[in-house]
Structure 1
Amino acid sequence: MISLLHELAEITDADLLARHVAGDEHAFEVLFTRHRDRLWAVALRTMRNPDEAADALQEAMISAFRRADSFRGQAAVTTWLHRIVVNACLDRMRRNKVRATQPMPDNPDHDPTLAVAGDLQDEFSDKETAADVARALASINADQRAALVLVDMQGYSVDEAAAMLGCAPGTVKSRCSRGRARLAPLLAHLREDG
């Protein structure tokens, strides 16, 4: 089993997907493992809630697993996977029609995520800034938020984001521009403080 997984790790994404479609029971696992960190980051930044992001990512991977035979090879497999994740997030947000928030820990003094070395004031400021950004992102529409997450937060090019979102590059540019324009007044205090 270990040697089989090692062998599969050396295969391209497209070949792994083809093997999965042909019935290889381990190929999709290797493909997902290869890209899970970036897929998780996209889901988490899009949903802004770990539980919702986990559910969206799971829905996306089930969809990709079942629809692997629909992959036409017009884009990279990773682009196809990211598009499925973004679409699952957008679908979930539309279904929920609820603005997700990040829950505060019951006991912040014992939360290991808060026990980061460094000045407590800086830590508080960083968390406050992250909360401000999350609230501002929650105030813009889901399409603009998805474009901004992919381009500004994940570092994808406009063309890559367009492929993931299934729209034209000009649409991504427009969504980013409108989203940034809506965020600017909401986050202006961060520039003044910095």
Structure 2
Amino acid sequence: MPARHSTLQIVLHWTMAAVIAAAWLLGSLLEDLARGPDRAAGLGVHVLLGLGVLALLLPRLIARLAGPTLPPEPGETRWEHRLAAAAHLALYALMLLVPLAGLATALSARAPVPVLGLFDLPNPLAGLGQRKLFEGAHELLANLLLGVVVLHVLATLYHAVIRRDGVAGRMIPWLHQP
């Protein structure tokens, strides 16, 4: 039976999952909104969510490195182990790159970006004329993140429903069987 991740790792995992899902959904909805106060408010929330992902990423990496080293999955082949490691590396890389590309997009806007009246993001990159490039990179990376998350969820379902090896219980506490 696989060991369980630490409580801190589990809390950070699910908090980041919720923040990333909210940011992705809101970003998708923003594409359909006309310019105006609703879009500006939505963009402010989207920016805060992206900054939240960045703020949570370092503690998550530290918790993962400092947390328990889990044993290999029962019956796991070498290619399954490598695929899982590559998927996790892709998730972590995209959790960094997506918000950074979004931040570059905001910093390259024609005017400072207001964030819910809390503060304005300055626009020091506006003179570069690269906003469309940053925006395209942000959207592409966000969709790549969605794809890797879907694969991650499918792998979890595979372990929970087909293999029934307890691996899903590592991060889903109510599935954990001591």
TM-score (norm 2): 0.30
Greater relative contact order structure (CA < 8 Å, 6+ sep) = 2
Q: Which has the higher helix share?
A: 1
